[in-house]
């Protein structure tokens, strides 16, 4: 076991984080049990050290001094859920791939592009699912982001397109950001190969998308609402689609796209292939799969358990110095690329502005920003022009930024699942990450 050396410099109130700390040791036998289970399952043994947060289940309390009419519901947590000062080095099972990228029978130029992109060996989902997609099977990939699932479906589909140039694929995603990231990955694997794509997402001008659909497209990548709109207006012809990919299907369901997804799937000829990706399985998802997939093969991969492998701690603040506590922290050089989560669109915007005024280059992404603004913000964050990105949970969905050194929960997440999702943005792959959660002192 190795201690994560990427520790935050402890200053100001952060030093007061220790009272709620529960010493835990991780051994290889706790490998896959998960921090969540350790913490929630044994809640009787946990310290009752914090009056306000002594509610061990995630719950809600009313805060009457919210300055609004009526009380605002804010989540309550046991702070020890946010502490893991002894992260284990990795709890990913070592997977030995059965294939090399050269073994799948992919077109040579595609394999060259893969290797040029520094992908040396297939990830578990790629290793297992690429042969099935090449065979033409319907598949269910149970995999989170960061497992390499995008390349897992793109590579065999690009191969098929290179073989059969008239082939058209529709990729449905929950968010615009994810759609654009898939297009970016598609471009990386197809440079110089005349493979065309159009992104059709909501919240942006439909005209360029209509123009885009008039040209030849091998891949149409979009969000369900806009895609359905374009089908209904006659610009997107479902009868030509040979493959449909549903990426992050569980998130699309969460976002209320079920009706649109069903309508789209009903419009496409029944002999199409369906590739279905989801991090979780629920009754609704099972129903969708049963209704639309033909004898699918399920491949399930586990990503490393972020709750065990990321250094996590709480940061104490008094209500009058929350912002100062943050800026004091951000002085630390190790805070190289920091993703800060806030609860509301307006508070996220305000925090970003305040950080800029304090000389800390920051950007914000939230639902009130235009698509172009969000993309520009992401670009600045990825390139290092902005050291800090402040985001709401929804806006941060599906974004991939490598080397996020710290995730800071400036406002508490609504659920433990949201917490896990947030902190998973740091410590990706073999990187070490730190997650800090702001907790108000009583
Ligand atoms: P995902 O969101 O699951 O598609 O994974 C995205 C990240 O994984 C991207 O940064 C990819 O470049 C990276 N990735 C995909 N496949 C591999 C691979 N075989 N080896 C290493 N990294 C990979």
145-180 confidence digits (pLDDT tens): 878 999 999 999 999 999 999 999 999 999 998 999
Nearest to 104 by CA among 123, 126, 85: 126
Q: What is the pLDDT of residue 398?
A: 64
User: Which atom of ligand 1 is the closest one to the Cα of 402?
Assistant: 10
123 ligand 1 Cβ < 6 A: yes
Q: How far is the CA of 151 from the centre of ligand 1 (A)?
A: 7
Residue 22 has pLDDT above 50, yes or no: no
Give the closest residue (by CA) to ligand 1 atom 22: 119
Per-residue model confidence (pLDDT) at position 42: 31
Q: pLDDT-derived band of residue 305, with 50, 70 and 90 as boundaries?
A: low
Question: Nearest C-alpha to atom 23 of ligand 1 is from which residue?
Answer: 148
Please give the CATH superfamily to which domain 101-302 belongs.
P-loop containing nucleotide triphosphate hydrolases (3.40.50.300)
Dihedral, 389, 395, 396, 400 alpha carbons, nearest 10 = -90
For ligand 1, is residue 425 a contact (CB within 6 Å)?
Answer: no
- pTM of the full structure: 0.63
What pLDDT is stored for residue 57 in this prediction?
35
Query: To which residue do tokens 């796209």 refer?
Result: 257
- Provide the CA 271 distance to its chain's centre, in angstroms: 31
13: Cβ–Cβ under 8 A, 6 or more apart, which residues?
315, 316, 317, 318, 321, 325, 441
The sign of the torsion formed by the CA atoms of 87, 91, 92, 96 equals positive
Q: What's the whole-number average pLDDT of the chain?
A: 82
Q: Is 312 in the pocket of ligand 1 (CB under 6 A)?
A: no
Q: Do domains 17-91+308-440 and 101-302 have the same CATH topology?
A: yes
Atom 11 of ligand 1, nearest CA residue = 148
Candidate of 123, 188, 248 to mutate for ligand 1, largest count of ligand atoms within 8 Å of Cβ: 123
Of 20-29, 338-347, 378-387, 395-404, the one with minimum mean pLDDT is: 20-29
- DSSP symbol at 89: S
Cα 105 to ligand 1 centroid, rounded to whole Å: 20
> 417 CA distance to ligand 1 centroid (A)?
23
The domain 17-91+308-440 having CATH identifier 2.60.120.590: the answer here is: no
Q: Torsion angle of alpha carbons 243, 248, 249, 255, nearest 10°? A: -130
Q: Band the pLDDT of 94: cuts 50, 70, 90.
A: low
Amino acid 90: pLDDT: 53
Task: Quickly state the pLDDT bin for 304 (edges 50, 70, 90).
Answer: low
Arithmetic mean of pLDDT, 368-386: 91
C-beta of 148 in contact with ligand 1 (< 6 A): yes
Binding site membership of 158 for ligand 1 (Cβ less than 6 Å): no
φ/ψ region of 47 (left if φ > 0, alpha if ψ in -120 to 50, else beta) reads beta
> What is the domain partition of the chain in residue ranges?
17-91+308-440, 101-302
């Amino acid at each position: 076991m190795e201690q994560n050396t990427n520790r935050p410099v402890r200053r100001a109130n952060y030093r007061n984080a220790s009272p709620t700390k529960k010493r835990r040791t991780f051994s290889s036998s706790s490998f896959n049990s998960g921090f969540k289970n350790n913490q929630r399952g044994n809640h009787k043994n946990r310290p009752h050290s914090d009056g306000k947060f002594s509610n061990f289940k995630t719950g809600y309390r009313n805060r009457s001094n919210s300055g609004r009419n009526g009380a605002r519901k804010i989540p309550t947590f046991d702070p020890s859920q946010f502490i893991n000062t002894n992260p284990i080095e990795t709890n990913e099972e070592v997977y030995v791939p059965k294939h090399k990228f050269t073994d799948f029978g992919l077109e040579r130029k595609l394999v060259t592009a893969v290797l040029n992109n520094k992908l040396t060996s297939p990830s578990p989902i790629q290793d297992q699912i690429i042969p099935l997609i090449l065979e033409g099977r319907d598949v269910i990939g149970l995999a989170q982001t960061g497992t390499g699932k995008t390349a897992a479906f793109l590579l065999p589909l690009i191969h098929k397109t290179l073989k059969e140039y008239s082939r058209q694929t529709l990729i449905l995603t929950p968010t615009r950001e994810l759609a654009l990231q898939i297009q970016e990955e598609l471009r990386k694997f197809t440079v110089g190969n005349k493979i065309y794509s159009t992104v059709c997402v909501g919240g942006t001008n439909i005209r360029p998308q209509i123009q885009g659909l008039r040209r030849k497209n091998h891949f149409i990548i979009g969000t369900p609402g806009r895609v359905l709109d374009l089908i209904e207006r006659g610009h997107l012809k479902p009868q030509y689609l040979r493959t449909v990919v549903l990426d992050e299907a569980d998130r699309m369901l969460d976002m209320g796209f079920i009706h649109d997804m069903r309508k789209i799937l009903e419009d496409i000829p029944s002999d199409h292939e369906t590739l279905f990706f989801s991090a979780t399985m629920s009754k609704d998802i099972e129903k969708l799969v049963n209704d639309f997939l033909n004898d699918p093969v399920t491949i399930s991969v586990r990503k490393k358990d972020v709750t065990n492998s990321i250094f996590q701690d709480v940061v104490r603040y008094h209500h009058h110095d929350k912002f100062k506590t943050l800026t004091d922290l951000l002085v630390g050089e190790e805070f190289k690329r920091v993703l800060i989560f806030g609860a509301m669109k307006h508070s996220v915007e305000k925090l970003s502005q305040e950080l800029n005024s304090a000389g800390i280059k920051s950007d914000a992404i939230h639902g009130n920003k235009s698509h172009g603004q969000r993309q520009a913000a992401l670009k600045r964050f990825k390139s290092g022009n902005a050291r800090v990105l402040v985001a709401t949970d929804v806006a941060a969905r599906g974004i991939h930024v490598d080397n996020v050194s710290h995730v800071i929960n400036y406002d508490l997440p609504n659920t433990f699942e949201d917490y896990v999702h947030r902190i998973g943005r740091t410590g990706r792959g073999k990187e070490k990450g730190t997650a800090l959660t702001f907790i108000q002192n009583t």
